[in-house]
Amino acid sequence: MARILIVEARFYAHLNDMLIAGAKAAIEAAGHEAEVLTVPGALEIPGAIALAVEGGGYDAFVAIGVVIRGETYHFEIVAGESARAIMALTMDGIPIGNGIITTENEAQALERANPAAKDKGGEAAKAALALLELTERFPR
């Protein structure tokens, strides 16, 4: 049984709850256990994962958050830099499913977060588990 850490940026609580529900369902259906760690925003997710890799005893990670476009350039920075940092960690061999959804509006976010609809939380968890399998197949 693998230990999976879900790291969530708790900015849109109602949307995160749906993403986490989907992620937990996928992890538990695969026979693994999940724990949730909350950070302030999407930019803090990669740093929290990096810290947890060093001493947390987790086998894989799921990044959960919602970034909705606003009136400023901040959206592009948060969306791009969080994805870039997660990809950098993944390229270092850390199995991470990226469930940070980036949308134009809340309606799009609701559709993607809902486990009964697009279930992006569940998809991110499945991606993390698939990468975990690859790390076991190709150990470093």
DSSP 31-46: T-EEEEEEESSGGGHH
**Average confidence (pLDDT) over 109-135:** 98
* Cβ(113)–Cβ(15) below 8 Å: yes
**Residue 91 in tokens:** 């390229």
Residue positions annotated with a catalytic role: 74
Please, what is the Cα angle at 139 between 133 and 140, to 5 degrees?
140
pLDDT score of 53 more than 90: yes
**pLDDT band at 72; cut points 50, 70, 90:** confident
Among 107, 109, 117, 114, CA closest to 18: 114
**Average confidence (pLDDT) over 54-75:** 92
**pLDDT band at 5; cut points 50, 70, 90:** very high
Q: Which residues have CB under 8 Å from 123's CB, separation 6+?
A: 22, 26, 97, 99
**Average confidence (pLDDT) over 40-65:** 96
Strands 3-9 and 60-68: parallel
**Average confidence (pLDDT) over 8-37:** 97
Distance CA 104, CA 23 (A): 23
Instruction: Tell me if residue 39 falls in helix, strand or coil.
Output: strand
Q: How many CB atoms lie within 10 A of CB 88?
A: 12
Distance CA 28, CA 33 (A): 6
Mean pLDDT over all residues of the chain? 96
Single pTM value for the model: 0.96
pLDDT score of 8 more than 90: yes
Give the count of alpha carbons within 13 A of 50, CB side only: 13
pLDDT score recorded for residue 56: 81
